[in-house]
Amino acid sequence: MKKVFKAKHYFFVALLCIISLCNVYAQKEETSKKVPRKEKFTFGPKVSVNITNEWVSKKIKTEFTPGADLGLFFRFTPWRFYIQPEIFYAIRNQSIESWWNSITTSTKYQSHHIGIPILVGFKAIDLKQLKIRVFVGPEFCLKLKDNLTNLNYQMGFQAGLGFDIWRFTIDGSYSFLGNLRSNKEAHNNIFKVGVGFKCY
């Protein structure tokens, strides 16, 4: 439990420092008299609502349950294609119902994760104040701890659709994550809607 607390503490301290620098940089750009250059690199904070469903086995039924993500994104845009690595801290809530010999057991639990997707996207519409994007890429996830299991690793992919309106970025995505250690048949289906702010 102490290791989880330290991981959370260091993550949020680093996140607050980067967001503060991001804010200072954005204000500097707003007050600058130079003509803004075309966006090649940007980064910023991002918050998401996630809805998670965990598949464990045929005898275990799960429900889609809401949680939340908080993190940062970094976008490199050489042309209409772009690369966007992210790092985020996720809280997933899960509800599991299992039955055996006519006995039903219900369990609700919360798990904490650090996720790192590396997304490759394409701007299908690339206007000055509006951009519509599609993206896909691998995603690595470290489960810190929950009340059922200890540390665990997950790997999968993420795909979705995004919109950029001014400096705001809105993403809707689906992630499929499988366990790399315990119960390798288990996997998570995660739907997310996130809002970020681009610091030029």
Considering the domain delimited by 2-197, tell me its CATH architecture.
Beta Barrel (2.40)
**Region 3-7: what's the mean pLDDT?**
50
**How far, in Å, CA of 151 to CA of 7, rounded?**
12
Q: How many residues does the chain have?
A: 200
**Which residue bears the tokens 């429900």?**
63
Tokens of 92: 């997933």
The C-alpha angle with vertex 64 and arms to 102 and 101, in degrees rounded to 5, equals: 10
**How far, in Å, CA of 139 to CA of 18, rounded?**
22
Residues 6+ away with beta carbon under 8 Å from 38: none
* Residue 36, SS3 per DSSP: coil
pTM, 2 dp? 0.76
Domain ranges of the chain: 2-197
Q: What is the pLDDT of residues 130-186, one digit of tens each?
A: 999 999 999 999 988 665 555 678 899 999 999 999 999 999 999 999 887 666 677
Among 146, 189, 156, CA closest to 54:
189
Decide: 162 and 169 in contact? Cβ < 8 Å.
Answer: yes
**How far, in Å, CA of 177 to CA of 188, rounded?**
5
Tokens of 183: 């119960």
**Which residue bears the tokens 């680093």?**
14
Residues 6+ away with beta carbon under 8 Å from 182: 149, 152
**pLDDT cut 70: percent of the chain above it:** 68
